[in-house]
């Protein structure tokens, strides 16, 4: 079964735009699970423009499905954001946060500080040694590790050498090309997914997957372990309501 993990960053974006606690990020996560979501994803960034580090602490005891924390661990050890003095009154970076929370999964994403959204996967050749160290550190805590990666079989083969449990395919190119030629759009992703399977890696996918393109992606790569979807899903919920939206996304995955 392919799990649906709902990325709730956009809910936090709306809350932060007005201040206060509306919409309630914690309650939204609980409701997503109640309506059938099989995981909750958050991507805290150093500027805390959507999910805050404090949200991650609040969500940990409430999430009863799989909790997935995404982010870039590089250079965050000493980051001191305005709202990072949380647990034990000391500042935390991404690595420290994840090791304390111990989610079911951590997804390593190489996004630069200040980018609007993740826009590329890891170069697992250039950053091989670094990724080996980080993967080892998280796995020592009993956390499953996934590496965000482009649909490049060589990069996936090199990702396998880091000791990671899974890779997450960055699907923006698929989404952009889907309407013009879905067969052409999916082809490199099928090859990449096969490479991951050949390497013994679990397989996740995410970025711009939607009600328009998700079913075909799943049809062509039915051994997917998980999709993480935020922007499109939250946007659809504005029209359909969150319960109906989650049911439709689950339907795209044969659930």
Tens digit of each residue's pLDDT, the chain (255 residues): 999 999 999 999 999 999 899 999 999 999 999 999 999 999 998 888 899 999 999 999 999 999 999 999 975 543 334 344 344 333 468 999 999 999 999 999 997 665 555 567 899 999 999 999 999 999 999 999 999 999 999 999 999 999 999 999 999 999 999 999 999 999 999 999 999 999 999 999 999 999 999 999 999 999 999 999 999 999 999 999 999 999 999 999 998
- pLDDT, residue 112, reads 60
Choice among 33, 66, 76, 207 that is catalytic: 207
Residue with tokens 């039915």: 222
* Residue 140 burial (CB count, 10 A): 9
Choice among 33, 43, 50, 168 that is catalytic: 43
Q: How far apart are the first and last CA of the chain?
A: 8
- pLDDT, residue 118, reads 57
207 included as an active-site residue: yes
Under DSSP, the state recorded for 3 is E
- pLDDT, residue 229, reads 98
* pTM listed for this prediction: 0.91
- pLDDT, residue 88, reads 39
Q: Answer whether 40's CB lies under 8 Å from 9's CB.
A: no
Task: Report how far residue 97's alpha carbon sits from residue 164's, in angstroms, rounded to the nearest whole number.
Answer: 19
- pLDDT, residue 74, reads 76
50 included as an active-site residue: no
Task: Report how far residue 68's alpha carbon sits from residue 142's, in angstroms, rounded to the nearest whole number.
Answer: 13
247 included as an active-site residue: no
Task: Report how far residue 234's alpha carbon sits from residue 9's, in angstroms, rounded to the nearest whole number.
Answer: 9
DSSP codes joined into one string, 30-80: HHHHHTT--EEEE---TT-SSS-HHHHHHHTTT--SEEEEEE--TT-TT--
- pLDDT, residue 92, reads 65
Choice among 33, 66, 70, 168 that is catalytic: 70
């Amino acid at each position: 079964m392919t799990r649906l993990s709902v990325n709730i960053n956009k809910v936090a974006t709306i809350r932060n735009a007005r201040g206060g606690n509306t919409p309630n990020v914690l309650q939204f996560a609980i409701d997503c699970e109640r309506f059938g979501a099989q995981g909750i994803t958050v991507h805290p960034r150093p500027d805390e423009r959507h999910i805050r580090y404090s949200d991650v602490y609040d969500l940990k005891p409430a999430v009863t499905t799989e909790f997935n924390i995404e982010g870039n661990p590089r250079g965050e050890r000493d980051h001191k954001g305005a709202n990072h003095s949380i647990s034990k009154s000391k500042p935390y970076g991404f690595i420290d946060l994840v090791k304390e929370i111990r989610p079911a999964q951590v997804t390593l994403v190489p996004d630069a500080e200040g980018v609007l959204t993740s826009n590329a996967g890891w170069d697992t050749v250039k950053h091989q040694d670094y990724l080996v160290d980080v993967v080892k550190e998280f796995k020592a805590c009993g956390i499953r590790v996934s590496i965000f990666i482009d649909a490049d079989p060589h990069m996936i083969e090199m990702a396998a050498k880091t000791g990671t449990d899974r890779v997450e395919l960055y699907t923006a190119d698929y989404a952009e090309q889907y309407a013009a030629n879905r067969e052409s759009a999916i082809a490199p992703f099928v090859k990449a997914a096969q490479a991951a399977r050949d390497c013994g890696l679990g397989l996740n996918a995410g970025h711009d997957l939607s009600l328009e393109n998700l079913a075909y992606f799943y049809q062509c790569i039915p051994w997917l372990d998980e999709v993480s979807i935020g922007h499109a899903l939250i946007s659809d919920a504005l029209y359909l309501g969150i319960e109906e939206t989650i049911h439709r996304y689950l339907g795209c995955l044969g659930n």
